Structure 1
Amino acid sequence: MKEYDVIVIGSGVGGAITARRLSEKGARILVVERGDFVPRETENWSVRSVFFEKKYKARDAWLDRHGKSFDPGMFYNVGGSTKFYGAAMFRLRERDFEDLAHRRGVSPAWPIRYADLAPYYDEAERMFGVHGDDRPDKTAPSRQAPFPYGPVKSEPIVERMAQRFREQGLSPSALPLAVNAAPAGTCILCPTCDGFPCKIGQKNDAETCGVEPALATGRVDLMTHAFARRLLLSRDAKRITAVEVDHGGTIKRLSAPLFVVSCNAVNSSALLLRSADTGAVNGVANGSDVVGRHYMVHNQTALMGLSHRVNSTVFQKTLAINDWYFGDDAFRWPMGQMQMLGKLQGGMLTANVPYLPAFLADRMARHGMDWIGLSEDLPDPDNRVTLEGDRIKLSVTLNNMDGHIKLVRRMKRALQQAGYPIVITKSLVAHATGHQCGTVRMGNDPGTSALDPFCRAWDQQNLFVIDASFFPSSAAVNPALTIAAQALRAADHIMATDLA
């Protein structure tokens, strides 16, 4: 077997960007991925294939807190879930890194501050070719560099709605988007972006912006169809000696000086828990008993504003509203963010609401304007990932809903005043796994965290966990850019210390 400096487990944002950064600085990397490449094919943009047949989703079944089986909607492939994301790339706000009081508790401070990530946010935006302009956003964090590209322009109907919002005193701003729109590339700004894989490879995801450049260095090998079963420990349990993988039905043990786990918040914590042995009875990196705990996923609600006018917009996902992010005069606690969804199609609605007649779904989609509200859920140690035999159990009780309910009410009123008299809402919190984070949290105290501020495990110093697991709090924006920025920061730390 070839010798590697680092084995990276998982090829989503955290794993892909870590592999790219380390390899570009000269390290030899093996990336282990349980899935395969998503093929570029006609079905990529088929509503039936993606939403009805669920062609690209994993056949996975987890247990909820009542022991009932459910489909978590996982994607196991090169590039992880970013192959299907909406390409929104937000920075956390400065205050998100500090203790932040909510109506139902306190969102804890991070062991780093915004200034520690700011230069890496700049780099991550360049890597992902982010388009944006956050100057109208009153909550936007300071930045040392402008967006790599200007905002994706809103189509006339969306811009008309934005103007109606401004007349209400709101400040809609451009959604920061990682797409290869002109002049960056040949993205055609199609309606099959949010929730679909890109048939022409113009959505900037973990594969195109992480895995492909890493492989191009010639110092990275990619092993697909390789499921990481467990991590193996040294006799004193202070180091990882190997990862045991099921590679297409063959069990293999892979070794390197350093290991990076980047499987997503649920699967990374499950891997650490599965790796328990006599020297680590609660699991790897779990001397503090926090691994699997503090699961967060955002409180989320979709809104569809309906009017008599046909919405002919093709690429709809261009606006965000952060006016209520930290509260307002009537509700002084944080509420969260509103952002546009990609244009919903009738088949997408009937796939998720089976009793909805197809003709009605089509009519709603033609007349609808689609948004999603994201609010912070608070880290609760009893919201957690555990194992029942070889099955994952995800036990979650909703919290901090006050602000979210206020946010949805405000947005509903804003849409009505903007000319959409009927607003339909749908809660997206049941069995939610999108934006999952928090299960292997970082901190300054080994007694209350699993990782140090560079994502190194306190208990096993040659192990790093670099995905949204490390989040001490969820904030109220998409996590992808923060994962990428911290991956760059952690990789630089690895090069300056372990691989110096």
Structure 2
Amino acid sequence: KFYGAVLIRYRREDFSEMEHYGGVSPAWPFSYEEFEPWYSRAEQLFRVRGALGEDPTEPFHSIPYAFGPVPDEPPIARARAELKGLGLHPASLPLGVDIDAWLRDGKTGWDAFPNTGTGKVDAQSGPLTAALADRNIRLETGAHVEYLEASSDATTIAAVHYRQDGTLKKVTPKLVVLSAGAVNSAAILLRSPSPSGKGLANRSDQVGRNFMNHNSSAMLAIDPRRRNTSVYQKTLMLNDYYLSDGKGGKPLGNVQLLGKIDGHILRANVKLAPKFALDFMAGHAVDWYL
């Protein structure tokens, strides 16, 4: 569980066609308004902490956040104030983090931190735990889906074939939801039998292709006069340049804090630099994800 627990809604404009420096992002087949109730439901399931009214790009919320934002640590509160002083609109990151539970387990940041506890609210500790409270729902563990079997008219999934404890089994539900992540969902479709031999839902031959990754970088803002004593740091974002460059030009993207960088992390990328210098840099930096 490495994820940084940031749960930002796409902006309303993201659902329309938008021109970026890298090309045109096509319009979605539905609008933000159609999607909005499901955002609200997901935020409830993931117990998202956040604040409305800080970010001018924030779209309409039919239900406010159930919990207030994770508080800024003092160095970050100072950075927020300085950004506001520049006329920008720093806003609290919406986070699926139970900050009290997280800090009880250790004084460390959660961003990219491997953890199997409940401090970060993910699909297991949030929606799955809530679902298993229903006596009509059972979780089959140790089960590996081998393939999906299509109906005779190839319009629905008739059965799920899976292996459990060395035995091949199958279930024939009325509805099948394939939600195994970008890699494994594609792998299951590709190894499922189909008339074309290319896997299910793959007439385009594009299943398993075109994977995307973050188009991003990291930046350390270093001030040798100020020590950053933050433990988790990651509570702030800036979207002033998300929908345009601030001057009517093309979008530049989101800016948000990273989890706190330390000398060991820097050492992995700058192996020949002396450790004391890296520790000093990390200890006097505010770390940004661009």
TM-score (norm 2): 0.88
- Pair 349,276 (structure 1): closer, same or farther in 2 beyond 3 Å: farther
Match for 1:188 among 89, 103, 110?
Answer: 103
1:244 is matched with which residue: 139, 161, 170? 161
Query: How many pairs does the alignment contain?
Result: 287
Q: How does 1:59-458 map to 2 (within 5 A)?
A: 83-181=1-99, 186-188=101-103, 190-198=107-115, 200-277=117-194, 279-308=195-224, 309-330=226-247, 332-351=249-268, 357-373=274-290
What corresponds to 1:409 in structure 2?
none
CA gap of 1:207–1:354, structure 2 versus 1, over 3 A, is farther
Displacement after TM superposition at 1:144 (Å) = 1.9
Q: What fraction of aligned residue pairs are identical, expressed as a percent? A: 41
Name the Cα RMSD after superposition: 2.4
Task: For residues 100-124 of structure 1, give each alpha carbon's deviation from its aligned partner in whole angstroms, at most 9, with x where no partner exists.
Answer: 1123321111111111121222222
Letter in 1 for 2:79: M
Please report how far the alpha carbon of residue 284 of structure 1 lies from its aligned counterpart in structure 2 after TM superposition: 0.5
CA shift for structure 1 position 147: 1.5
Pair 1:298–1:152, CA change in 2 (3 A):
same
Counterparts of 2:116 and 2:154 in 1: how far apart (Å)?
45
Secondary structure of 2:216's aligned partner: strand
Q: Match of 1:49?
A: none
Gaps of 5+ in 2: none
Pair 143,233 (structure 1): closer, same or farther in 2 beyond 3 Å: closer
8 Å CA contact 2:36, 2:61 repeated in 1: yes
TM-fit CA distance, 1:347: 2.8
User: In structure 1, what is the Cα distance between the partners aligned to 2:155 and 2:138?
Assistant: 27
**What letter matches 1:302 in structure 2?**
A
Pick closer, same or farther for the CA change 1:354–1:236 going to 2, 3 Å: farther
3-state SS in 2 of match to 1:165: helix
* CA contact 1:237–1:280 (8 Å) conserved in 2: no
Cα deviation, 1:63-101, whole Å, max 9, x if unaligned, reads xxxxxxxxxxxxxxxxxxxx3211111111001011111
Matches of 1:231 and 1:361 in 2, distance apart? 51
Going from structure 1 to structure 2, the CA distance change for 1:361 and 1:102 (only over 3 Å counts) comes to same
Q: Using a 3 Å threshold, how does the CA distance of structure 1 residues 249 and 125 change in structure 2: closer, same or farther?
A: same
Q: 1:317 aligns to what SS in structure 2? A: coil
Secondary structure, counterpart of 2:147 in structure 1: strand
Matching residue's letter, 2:103: I
Look up the SS of the partner of 1:126 in the other structure: helix
What is the DSSP-based 3-state SS (H/G/I as helix, E as strand, rest coil) of the residue aligned with 1:342? coil
Q: Report the alpha carbon displacement of residue 160 of structure 1 after superposing the two structures with TM.
A: 1.1
The alpha-carbon distance between structure 1 residues 353 and 259, as it changes in their structure 2 partners (threshold 3 A), is farther
Q: Give 1:353 deviation, angstroms.
A: 5.5
- CA distance in 2 between partners of 1:290 and 1:231 (Å): 18
User: For 1:325, what is the secondary structure of its paired residue?
Assistant: coil
Q: 1:353 to 1:212 in 2, by over 3 A?
A: farther
Question: 1:302–1:248: structure 2 CA closer, same or farther, 3 Å change rule?
Answer: farther
Q: Output the amino acid matched with 2:186.
A: S
Give 3-state SS (helix, strand or coil) of 1:299's partner: coil
Separation (CA, whole Å) in 2 of partners of 1:154 and 1:321: 14
Q: CA deviation at 1:324?
A: 0.3
**Cα 1:209–1:112 shift into 2, 3 Å:** same
- Render the CA deviation track for 1:400-448: whole Å, top value 9, x for unaligned: xxxxxxxxxxxxxxxxxxxxxxxxxxxxxxxxxxxxxxxxxxxxxxxxx
* C-alpha spacing 1:350/1:218, structure 2 compared with 1 (3 Å): farther
Task: Find the aligned partners of 1:248 and 1:306 in 2 and give their Cα distance.
Answer: 54
Shift, 1:227, TM fit: 2.6
- Alpha carbons of structure 1 residues 324 and 224: separation in structure 2 relative to 1, 3 Å: same
Label 1:172 to 1:329 Cα distance change in 2 as closer, same or farther (>3 A): closer
Secondary structure class of the residue paired with 2:288: strand
CA 1:132–1:345: 2 relative to 1, 3 Å: same
- Structure 1 residue runs of 5 or longer lacking an equivalent are 1-82, 374-500
Amino acid in structure 2 at the alignment position of 1:188: L
Letter in 2 for 1:149: F
Partner Cα separation in structure 1 for residue 263 and residue 76 of structure 2: 19
Q: Which amino acid aligns with 2:122?
A: D
